[in-house]
Amino acid sequence: MTVQTLSDLISDGVDGRYVLVRSDLNVPLDYGRVTDDGRIRASIPTLQTLVEHGAKVIVMAHLGRPKGKPDEKYSLRPAVDRLDELAPFAVEFADDVVGDSARERAGALASGSVLVLQNIRFDPRETSKDDAERQALAAELASLTGGNGAYVDDAFGAVHRKHASVYDIAEVLPAYEGDLVHTEVQVLKRLTENPEKPYVVVLGGSKVSDKLAVIENLMARADYLLVGGGMVFTFLAAQGYKVGASLLEADQIENVKGYLSRAKEVGCEFVLPTDIVVADKFAADADVDTVPANAMEDSRFGASGIGLDIGPESADAFAQHIGKGRTIFWNGPMGVFEFEAFANGTRAVAQALKDSSGFSVVGGGDSAAAVRKLGFSEADFGHISTGGGASLEYLEGKALPGLTVLDK
């Protein structure tokens, strides 16, 4: 069982050969404008390597969650335009997935050129639960490559999906692991297989239920587990504190109590905020108050106050713990970083990772968007993942379809 890499494909020869690449161009848009092009930038090196070696590159990608039919709101056009601006090669665009436009443009593709197909999820077979439907789409995609095509998976953000362009196509064409996917897997192995100690895990985001399996799996490996974001209020409630109108998953309180109890047994220390920034409403212009975490309803807003960030005392404590780490993994913002009044906790964590001499990993999704929005450079961190959900599922110990299908 071995995984064939991009280097293996180049060695096999790609000059004049069609190569289907699954890229991750799933970027945020605002009125048709790309607001964070991190994933687009990350997709370029693998495409560039193939272009330089004379491949005829056909890119498959998705954007958002269209309901299996064309929807202009989810067109890949803005992402493709941005790719064309950033890349040192020209990019063509087909306005359908496997229709007339795709077939005609693919047939006319020159060596060393790149064609991006329209949003793969515009075809309902891409995400179908029916194996035969997905396989039929995979066969049509493979037909675009003639009789000697290859497939490269370079979309780490989609490897946890059993979709036609991720899983089934790898059973039709000779399949290879792209450099981006390879790098992501190596980083995640470093986080799960004998990580250098002390190992600090920082978790935020809105819901503790989204992170239960990650907490379960990393608790036995981490020395410190720092918790912020909306999920922290379930932890505070588990300690008997009142949290006002803050986000609370009451059905997870007992689970959290169990984690807090078991952490001591496995030698992991949970570090929770000691102060919280509370607001009178969820808005950029909200009135704010900073109060102790165990006295949130003593704020000026009483029981109607909403916790929207960790406080400055907590931010300092989190930074100190991060500074101890030789391995640091961070997933999830500490507060509503999109509003400046509630961005300080997230900014402090990002700064601490930047200042750390340890190996720091920003776990994709909102965390990656936050560091870029707050003005940090990707070079400030050991690694910024392109796959939030995929990273978490890997860290949960799950088998990811897009990876297992390559291991053959």
- pLDDT tens-digit series, residues 160-185: 999 999 999 999 999 999 999 999 99
In the predicted model, is pLDDT for residue 196 greater than 80?
Answer: yes
Cα(390)–Cα(393) distance, integer angstroms: 5
Percent residues over pLDDT 70 in the chain = 100
DSSP string for residues in 19-55: EEEE------EETTEES--HHHHHHHHHHHHHHHTT-
Domains and CATH numbers, the chain: 6-178 (3.40.50.1260), 186-396 (3.40.50.1260)
Q: pLDDT-derived band of residue 240, with 50, 70 and 90 as boundaries?
A: very high
Give the per-residue pLDDT at 57. Answer: 98
Mean predicted confidence (pLDDT) in 37-45: 94
Give the per-residue pLDDT at 213. Answer: 87
In the predicted model, is pLDDT for residue 373 greater than 90?
Answer: no
In the predicted model, is pLDDT for residue 365 greater than 80?
Answer: no
Mean predicted confidence (pLDDT) in 181-204: 94
Q: pLDDT-derived band of residue 388, with 50, 70 and 90 as boundaries?
A: confident
Under 8 Å CB-to-CB from 357, ≥6 apart: which residues?
A: none
What does R_g of the chain's alpha carbons equal in angstroms? 23
Cα(157)–Cα(321) distance, integer angstroms: 29
Percent residues over pLDDT 90 in the chain = 86
In the predicted model, is pLDDT for residue 378 greater than 90?
Answer: no
Among residues 274, 269, 197, 169, the alpha carbon closest in space to that of 232 is found at: 274
Least confident of 67-81, 203-217, 327-341: 203-217
Number of C-beta neighbours around residue 124 at 10 A:
14
Summary mean pLDDT of the chain: 95
Mean predicted confidence (pLDDT) in 231-235: 96
Give the per-residue pLDDT at 387. Answer: 82
Q: Residue positions in the annotated binding site for substrate?
A: 24-26, 39, 62-65, 121, 161
Task: Look up residue 171 and give its two tokens.
Answer: 């059973």
Q: What is the pTM of this model?
A: 0.89
Task: Look up residue 247 and give its two tokens.
Answer: 């986000």
Residue 365 falls in the annotated catalytic set: yes
Mean predicted confidence (pLDDT) in 298-314: 96
pLDDT digits (tens, 9 = 90+) for 149-162: 999 999 999 999 99
Task: Look up residue 199 and give its two tokens.
Answer: 């190992």
Task: Look up residue 214 and give its two tokens.
Answer: 């990650």
Cα(399)–Cα(21) distance, integer angstroms: 22
- For residues 305-317, one letter each, b for 16 or more C-beta atoms within 10 angstroms of the residue's C-beta and e for the rest, the string is bbbbbbbeebbeb
Catalytic residue among 178, 365, 388, 402: 365
Residue 389 falls in the annotated catalytic set: yes
Q: Residue positions in the annotated binding site for ATP?
A: 211, 307, 338, 364-367
Mean predicted confidence (pLDDT) in 338-366: 93
In the predicted model, is pLDDT for residue 39 greater than 70?
Answer: yes
Q: Residue positions in the annotated binding site?
A: 24-26, 39, 62-65, 121, 161, 211, 307, 338, 364-367
Distances (CA, A) of 370 to 14, 128, 211, 344: 38, 32, 19, 11
Cα(68)–Cα(158) distance, integer angstroms: 17
Catalytic residue among 207, 242, 262, 326: 207
> Greatest CA separation found in the chain?
71
Mean predicted confidence (pLDDT) in 369-373: 87
In the predicted model, is pLDDT for residue 264 greater than 90?
Answer: no
In the predicted model, is pLDDT for residue 353 greater than 80?
Answer: yes
Choose between 366 and 181: higher pLDDT.
181
In the predicted model, is pLDDT for residue 322 greater than 80?
Answer: yes
Catalytic residue among 17, 22, 38, 39: 39
Residue type for position 359:
F
Q: pLDDT-derived band of residue 1, with 50, 70 and 90 as boundaries?
A: low
- For residues 146-165, one letter each, b for 16 or more C-beta atoms within 10 angstroms of the residue's C-beta and e for the rest, the string is eeebbbbbbbbbbbbbbbbb
Choose between 396 and 246: higher pLDDT.
246
Number of C-beta neighbours around residue 170 at 10 A:
24
